[in-house]
C-alpha cells in the first residue's frame, strides 16, 4: 500500500464511520394501509391517531377525554376483542408531586376516576408479555399566588405523546390477529389513563388490580418525547441482559445504547414503566425524541406526525410481539447482570454481557500501561500534564459557554422562546459551542505538533481516555463503551510497528467517530436546555483523538 494512500486511510475511516452513524437515522419507509396485512402499516396507525387524537383530551378535557377513550375501545372491539375498563378513584394521596397542587386542582381531580383500558389476548400458556401506552394528553400547570401548581387543560392533542404508543399497540394487535395462528403465549394490553398526572393510571393498576399481572414476564412501554426520529429503546429494568438480548434479536433495525438506560436510572423523569419497575417487573421502554420542541405543545398534533417514526415503532414492537406470540421456546428473561450494547450502523448493534465489558476494560488499561512504559523515556511528562490541562479547560470552556447562554436566557425569561425556535436553539446551544470546542482543541493540538510535542499530546489524550474508562466502568458501566474501545485503539497506535501505525490510526478514527457520533445526537435531543453542556462536552472529548490520528504519519513526531 502506497504511503500516500496510507496517509488518507484515517480520514477515509472517519468518513466511513460518519456514514455508518448517519445510517441509524434512515428510518423505514411507511407501509400503506393496503400492504401485507400481517405487517405493520404506519398509514393505518396514522388513521387511528387522526381519530382518537384529533384534539386535546387531557383528563381535564372531560368530554374529549371520554370520546378518545371510547374511540380506542371501539378500535379494539373492531378487532374482535372485549376491552375492560378499570375505573378507579385518582390515587392523589399515593403520588408524590400532587402535594404541590392547588386545593382547587386537587378538588377537580378528586371528582375524576382513572379509566384504564385492558385487553387480554390469551395464548396456549399464561406466560404473558404486556404492551402498554397511555391515552391521556398533557395537562398544563399555572403557578398560584401561594406557590402551588394549578392543573389546567393542556393544548397538546397527544398525537405523538402518546398517540404513537396507542396506535402502535392497536396496529400490532391487528397484524398479530391477521397472522391467523393461535399464540403460544399470551399478550396483555394496558392503555392507561392519567399518565400525565404523575402516572396515576399505572399506579391504580398496581393498587387495585395487581393480581392481573402475576403472569407478566415482560412489559413493553411505548412513549414519545418528540414527534420524529427513531424510536429509541431508552430504558430497561435492572439486570437487563436477557431482556435486551430478546429485544436485539427480534426488533428489526433497533436503535439502542446502554448509555441511555444507565443515565435514565439516575434522572427524576418517569413514565408508566417506572411504576412497574418498582414492583420488580422486567421492562423495555421506547420513545422518539426528535423535534422535542413539539412535546406537550399544540404542535403535538396529527399534522406533525412522522410516518417513518411510526413505522420504526411498529416494526420493532411487532417484531417483539410476534416472537413472543409464536416462537416455540419461551425466552429466558431473568438475569443477574446488565448487558452493554451500542449501534454501529443501521441493523447492527454490538452487545455483550457486562462482565465482558469489565474484561475489555482491563485489556484497555493493560494496553495503556504498556504504551506508557514504551513511551516513558521519550516524552516530557511536564508537557504531557500541560497538554492534558489544556485539553480539559478547552472542553470546559466550550461546555460552559452553552451553560452561560442557557442561564442568561432563563434569567431573562427567554428560554421557552429559545427552545421553541428549533434552528436558533440548536445553533446557539449546541452547534456554536461544539464548533468552538473543535476549533479550540484543533488549534491547540496543531500548535503542539508545530512545537514538536505531538508525542506528548498523544500520551495526554490516551491517559485522559484511560482515566475516563476507569471512572465510567465504576460509576456508569453502561456508558463505558464510549471510552474503553477508544482507549484500547489509541494505546495500540503507540505499540504497533511504524509500518502499521496508519492502519491503527484508521481503526482509532473509525472507533471514535462511530461511537461518539450517534450518542452525541441522542444526548443532545434527550436532555433539556439546562443540560446542554453535557452533549457538548461529550462531543468535544472525541475531537483530540480524531485530530491526532488524522495527522499524516510522515510528519507526526509521535510516530517518528
Check which CATH number belongs to the domain holding 254 and give it: 3.40.630.10
Higher pLDDT: 149 or 137? It is 137
Does residue 209 fall inside a structural domain? yes
Query: Would you state the pLDDT for residue 419?
Result: 60
397 and 497 co-located in one domain: yes
Does residue 174 fall inside a structural domain? yes
d(CA 322, CA 314): 11
Could you tell me the residue range of the domain that residue 421 belongs to? 3-23+353-559
Tally the domains of the chain.
2
Q: Which DSSP category does 427 fall into?
A: I
302 and 362 co-located in one domain: no
SS3 for 224-261 is ECCCEEEEEEEEECCCCHHHHHHHHHHCCCCCECCHHH
Place of cell 391487528: 174
Does residue 31 fall inside a structural domain? no
Does residue 341 fall inside a structural domain? no
- For residue range 37-51, what is the model confidence (pLDDT) as tens digits? 999 999 999 999 999
Query: Would you state the pLDDT for residue 146?
Result: 87
- For residue range 274-333, what is the model confidence (pLDDT) as tens digits? 999 999 999 999 999 988 889 999 999 999 999 999 999 999 999 999 999 999 887 888
68 and 216 co-located in one domain: yes
141 and 18 co-located in one domain: no
Beta-carbon count within 10 A of 108 CB? 18
Q: Which residues are within 8 A (CB) of 285 and not within 5 positions of it... i.e. 6 or more apart?
A: 221, 223, 233, 234, 235, 236, 271, 273
Does residue 333 fall inside a structural domain? no
13 and 128 co-located in one domain: no
317 and 364 co-located in one domain: no
Indicate the average pLDDT of the chain.
91
User: Given 311, 326, 341, which residue is the final one in a domain?
Assistant: 326
442 and 507 co-located in one domain: yes
434 and 486 co-located in one domain: yes
d(CA 479, CA 263): 8
Max Cα distance, the chain (Å): 79
- For residue range 468-526, what is the model confidence (pLDDT) as tens digits? 999 999 999 999 999 999 999 999 998 999 888 889 999 999 999 999 999 888 877 77
Contact 113, 87 (CB under 8 A): yes
- For residue range 179-232, what is the model confidence (pLDDT) as tens digits? 999 999 999 999 999 999 999 999 999 999 999 999 999 999 999 999 999 999
Does residue 372 fall inside a structural domain? yes
Does residue 420 fall inside a structural domain? yes
Does residue 411 fall inside a structural domain? yes
49 and 12 co-located in one domain: no
181 and 311 co-located in one domain: yes
d(CA 522, CA 226): 12
Amino acid at each position: 500500500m502506497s504511503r500516500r494512500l496510507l496517509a488518507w486511510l484515517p480520514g477515509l475511516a472517519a468518513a466511513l464511520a460518519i456514514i455508518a452513524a448517519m445510517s441509524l437515522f434512515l428510518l423505514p419507509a411507511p407501509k400503506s394501509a393496503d400492504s401485507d396485512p400481517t405487517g405493520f402499516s404506519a398509514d393505518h396507525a396514522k388513521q387511528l391517531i387522526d381519530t382518537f387524537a384529533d384534539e386535546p383530551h387531557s383528563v381535564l378535557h372531560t368530554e374529549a377525554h371520554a370520546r378518545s377513550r371510547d374511540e380506542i375501545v371501539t378500535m379494539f372491539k373492531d378487532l374482535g376483542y372485549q376491552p375492560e375498563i378499570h375505573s378507579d378513584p385518582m390515587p392523589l394521596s399515593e403520588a408524590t408531586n400532587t402535594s404541590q397542587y392547588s386545593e382547587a386542582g386537587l378538588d377537580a381531580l378528586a371528582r375524576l376516576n382513572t379509566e384504564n383500558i385492558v385487553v387480554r389476548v390469551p395464548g396456549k400458556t399464561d406466560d404473558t408479555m404486556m404492551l402498554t401506552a397511555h391515552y391521556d394528553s398533557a395537562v398544563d400547570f399555572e403557578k398560584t399566588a401561594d406557590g402551588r401548581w394549578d392543573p389546567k387543560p393542556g393544548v397538546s392533542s397527544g398525537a405523538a405523546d402518546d398517540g404513537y404508543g396507542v396506535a402502535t399497540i392497536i396496529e400490532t394487535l391487528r397484524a398479530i390477529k391477521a397472522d391467523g395462528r393461535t399464540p403460544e403465549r399470551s399478550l396483555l394490553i394496558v392503555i392507561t389513563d392519567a399518565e400525565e398526572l404523575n402516572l396515576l393510571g399505572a399506579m391504580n393498576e398496581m393498587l387495585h388490580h395487581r393480581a392481573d399481572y402475576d403472569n407478566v414476564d415482560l412489559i413493553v412501554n411505548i412513549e414519545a418525547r418528540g414527534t420524529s426520529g427513531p424510536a429509541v429503546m431508552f430504558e430497561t429494568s435492572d439486570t437487563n441482559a436477557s431482556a435486551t438480548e430478546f429485544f436485539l434479536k427480534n426488533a428489526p433495525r433497533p436503535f439502542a445504547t446502554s448509555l441511555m438506560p444507565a443515565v435514565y436510572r439516575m434522572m427524576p423523569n418517569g413514565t408508566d414503566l417506572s411504576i412497574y419497575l418498582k414492583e420488580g417487573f422486567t421492562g423495555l421502554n421506547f420513545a422518539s425524541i426528535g423535534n422535542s420542541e413539539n412535546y406537550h405543545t399544540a404542535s403535538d398534533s396529527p399534522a406533525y406526525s412522522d410516518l417513518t417514526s411510526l413505522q420504526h415503532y411498529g416494526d420493532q414492537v411487532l417484531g417483539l410481539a410476534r416472537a413472543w406470540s409464536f416462537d416455540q421456546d419461551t425466552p429466558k428473561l431473568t438475569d443477574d447482570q446488565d448487558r452493554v450494547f451500542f449501534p454501529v450502523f443501521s441493523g447492527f448493534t454490538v452487545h455483550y454481557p457486562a462482565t465482558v465489558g469489565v474484561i475489555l476494560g482491563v485489556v484497555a488499561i493493560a494496553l495503556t500501561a504498556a504504551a506508557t512504559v514504551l513511551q516513558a523515556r521519550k516524552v516530557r511528562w511536564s508537557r504531557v500534564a500541560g497538554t492534558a490541562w489544556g485539553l480539559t479547560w478547552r472542553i470546559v470552556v466550550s461546555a460552559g459557554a452553552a451553560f452561560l447562554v442557557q442561564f442568561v436566557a432563563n434569567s431573562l425569561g427567554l428560554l421557552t422562546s429559545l427552545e421553541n425556535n428549533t434552528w436558533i436553539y440548536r445553533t446557539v446551544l449546541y452547534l456554536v459551542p461544539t464548533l468552538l470546542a473543535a476549533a479550540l482543541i484543533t488549534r491547540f493540538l496543531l500548535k503542539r505538533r508545530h512545537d514538536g510535542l505531538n508525542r506528548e499530546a498523544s500520551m495526554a489524550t490516551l491517559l485522559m481516555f484511560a482515566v475516563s474508562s476507569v471512572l465510567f466502568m465504576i460509576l456508569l458501566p453502561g456508558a463505558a463503551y464510549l471510552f474503553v474501545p477508544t482507549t484500547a485503539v489509541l494505546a495500540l497506535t503507540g505499540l504497533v510497528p511504524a509500518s502499521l501505525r496508519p492502519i491503527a490510526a484508521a481503526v482509532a478514527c473509525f472507533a471514535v467517530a462511530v461511537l461518539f457520533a450517534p450518542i452525541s445526537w441522542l444526548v443532545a435531543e434527550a436532555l433539556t436546555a439546562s443540560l446542554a453542556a453535557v452533549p457538548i462536552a461529550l462531543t468535544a472529548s472525541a475531537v483530540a483523538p480524531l485530530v491526532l490520528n488524522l495527522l499524516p504519519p510522515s510528519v507526526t513526531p509521535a510516530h517518528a
